[in-house]
Amino acid sequence: MAGGGIAPSKGKAYPGNMTCKVFVTCIVAAMGGLIFGYDIGISGGVISMPLFLKKFFPDVWRKEQGMSPSTNQYCTYNSETLTLFTSSLYFAALLASFVASSVTRACGRRVSMVIGGTLFLAGSAVNGFAQNVLMLIIGRLLLGFGIGFANQSVPVYLSEMAPYRYRGALNMVFQLSITIGILGANLLNYFMANLKYGWRISLGCAAVPGIIFIVGSLLLPDTPNSLIERGKREEAKIMLQKIRGIRDVDEEFDDLVIASEESKKVQHPWANIMKEKNRPQLTFAMLIPFFQQFTGINVIMFYAPVLFKTIGFGSTASLMSAVITGLVNCLSTLVSIAIVDRFGRRGLFLEGGSQMLIMQLAIAAAIGAKFGVSGNPGSLPKGYALAVVAMICVYVAGFAWSWGPLGWLVPSEIFPLEVRSAGQSINVSVNMIFTFVVAQIFPVMLCKLKFGLFLFFSFFVVIMTIFIYKFFPETKGVPIEEMAIVWSRHPYWRKFVPAPDNIDDDRKPGSGRIGIEIVKKEQDC
Ligand code: BGC
């Protein structure tokens, strides 16, 4: 189990500081997020560049230039190969995340990171020098394999290196770096749009974060948890002393050894995760990434420039609008990092969901009123266009401080140790499957549902917000090894998770200091 070494907190406060080594770890992890974000942002920009379309997708280019009989603008970008260009990456990432899980466990987190970076670098070279659609797709597949390895190993690496007090914040730094990657790609697309080989530079520049990621991964040490898991206890202890910046790490080290041994006893984490006592966590590990993708965010992230062009913006205005939404996405993530541990997960989920819903309805009404179903806007008044961009920005902000970062944070903090890694694999895979699905269905849905596309996603936002309201208990401030108490006290999930006294292992919820405090507080109320 890749994440098998995360130590139980049991209410303990391990000594140790945020050292320089751990800080560098953050930077490397940030590179892992950047390569993912860069790819999310780059494809939509290049497919809105006429020179790129003319070379690789001449049919779409002809439609865009008005040379083709299709008059409905909603359908301009409805091309199977064009869609494949965007979505193939996520399919490859999905496949790679399964393989990466075993490599990460057997060879260490760092090896997976280096493999991921190398595949990614190869993909950016193939794309930068692409001569035909086949090369483009092969390049995208290589990028996707790289991202699958990186997304599997980096979050595990992070949570194992981080002092436990900083685990939540470090987790969200990963999401922040995804948004920085998207913004960087949007900016580059904006500046490259009018250059003859601008699209080559946009695609090829993925090599820059790729190289930094490989070099960083080669220089970094492996985690103590992984070293213990592979029988290198001496090395692991020295490493732990180095990253915590102190000599006395015995308590944490002993817990890591126990955790590793406990996790080795679980021969079949996949069978274990299906047990009734894991029902609530499993439900969230599947539904949270599904719902995250069905907020419709990637319609904006992948296709913002195309969407803006469809609703009547010029090429440059479309790319500029994508830069603006990218900036809002990034800044709003900072808001989430700042308040998530005070405001709580539930509050953010509910507020973000309501904000997205209102904006989706407003956007559908605005686009519908101007376009109707014929998809011919004539000229779009400037004030009208600005209002649509503003509504999209408010929608993106709602996502970026709720379902964006929480979509990664919550599944990583709710599972008991013995099935945590399996749970994370489920989260990554479900996320990639539905990222692929949304990328694949957007152009055809825009063509068929027209402005109703936003209504389609708003339906899911209603469902997910009600679901959170009824079924998600607050997890803020609860150490991960104490999390079972949260489920056992929930009016619905208590059916599946035994009350603390009936839990038969030594990780009884509430057994640690903080757990006892929670129980006390609830009794006081
Ligand atoms: C999602 C991505 C999305 C990004 C936007 C991430 O949490 O998993 O699919 O593109 O947020 O910032």
Q: Which residue has the higher pLDDT, 233 or 102?
A: 233
Atom of ligand 1 nearest to the CA of 179: 12
CA 367, 372, 375: angle at the middle one, nearest 5?
A: 85
User: Do residues 348 and 476 touch, judged by C-beta distance below 8 A?
Assistant: no
Q: Is the pLDDT of residue 397 over 90?
A: yes
Amino acid at 221: P
Q: How confident is the model at residue 368 (pLDDT cuts 50, 70, 90)?
A: confident
pLDDT confidence of residue 306: 77
pLDDT confidence of residue 513: 39
Q: Which of 260, 273, 208, 223 is nearest to 420 (CA)?
A: 273
pLDDT confidence of residue 407: 93
Atom of ligand 1 nearest to the CA of 431: 8
Q: How confident is the model at residue 351 (pLDDT cuts 50, 70, 90)?
A: very high
User: Do residues 25 and 283 touch, judged by C-beta distance below 8 A?
Assistant: no
pLDDT confidence of residue 13: 61
Q: Which amino acid residue places its CA nearest to atom 3 of ligand 1? A: 298
User: Do residues 228 and 264 touch, judged by C-beta distance below 8 A?
Assistant: no
**From CA 411, how far away is CA 169, in angstroms rounded?**
15
Q: What is the DSSP letter of 179?
A: H
Output the CA 223–ligand 1 centroid distance in Å.
Answer: 27
Q: Is the pLDDT of residue 95 over 70?
A: yes
Q: Which of 309, 277, 322 is nearest to 185 (CA)?
A: 322
Output the CA 447–ligand 1 centroid distance in Å.
Answer: 24
Atom of ligand 1 nearest to the CA of 405: 7
Q: Which of 266, 478, 448, 442 is nearest to 373 (CA)?
A: 448
User: Do residues 127 and 136 touch, judged by C-beta distance below 8 A?
Assistant: yes
**From CA 111, how far away is CA 149, in angstroms rounded?**
10
Atom of ligand 1 nearest to the CA of 407: 7
Contacts of residue 171, Cβ cutoff 8 Å, sequence gap at least 6 = 155, 158, 159, 405, 408, 409, 412
Atom of ligand 1 nearest to the CA of 435: 9
Atom of ligand 1 nearest to the CA of 178: 12
Average pLDDT taken over every residue of the chain: 83
Helices (H) and strands (E) in the chain, counts: 23, 0
Q: Which amino acid residue places its CA nearest to atom 11 of ligand 1? A: 404
- Our mutation pick for probing the ligand 1 site, out of 186, 293, 297, 428, counting the most ligand atoms within 8 A of Cβ, is 297
Q: Is the pLDDT of residue 265 over 70?
A: yes
**From CA 163, how far away is CA 140, in angstroms rounded?**
36
Q: Is the pLDDT of residue 353 over 80?
A: yes
pLDDT tens string 45-67: 888 888 999 999 888 888 877 76
Q: Is the pLDDT of residue 177 over 80?
A: yes
**From CA 441, how far away is CA 374, in angstroms rounded?**
20
pLDDT confidence of residue 268: 77
**From CA 306, how far away is CA 95, in angstroms rounded?**
28
Q: Which amino acid residue places its CA nearest to atom 1 of ligand 1? A: 404
- Which protein residues touch ligand 1 with a CB less than 6 Å away? 40, 175, 178-179, 182, 292, 297-298, 301, 329, 404, 407-408, 431, 435
Output the CA 313–ligand 1 centroid distance in Å.
Answer: 25
Q: How far is CA 196 from the centre of its chain?
A: 33
pLDDT confidence of residue 505: 44
**From CA 94, how far away is CA 525, in angstroms rounded?**
45
pLDDT tens string 474-523: 988 777 667 888 999 999 999 998 875 544 444 443 343 343 343 333 33
pLDDT confidence of residue 459: 97
Q: Which residue has the higher pLDDT, 267 or 70?
A: 267
Q: How confident is the model at residue 72 (pLDDT cuts 50, 70, 90)?
A: low
pLDDT confidence of residue 131: 95
Max avg pLDDT among 249-258, 263-272, 505-514 = 249-258
Name the region of 57 (left: φ>0; alpha: ψ -120 to 50; beta: rest).
beta
Determine the 3-state secondary structure of 2 from DSSP. coil
pLDDT confidence of residue 25: 75
- pTM of the shown model: 0.83
Q: What is the mean pLDDT of residues 215-236?
A: 87
- Our mutation pick for probing the ligand 1 site, out of 38, 87, 292, counting the most ligand atoms within 8 A of Cβ, is 292
pLDDT confidence of residue 261: 81
**From CA 7, how far away is CA 253, in angstroms rounded?**
9
pLDDT confidence of residue 340: 86
Amino acid at 27: I
pLDDT confidence of residue 481: 66
Taking the alpha carbons of 22, 185, 406, 271 in that order, is the dihedral positive or negative? negative
**From CA 424, how far away is CA 411, in angstroms rounded?**
7
* Cα–Cα distance list, 359 to 159, 174, 194, 353 (Å): 35, 27, 32, 10
| Residue that has been written with the tokens 């900083």 in this structure | 166
Q: Is the pLDDT of residue 271 over 80?
A: yes
Q: How confident is the model at residue 461 (pLDDT cuts 50, 70, 90)?
A: very high
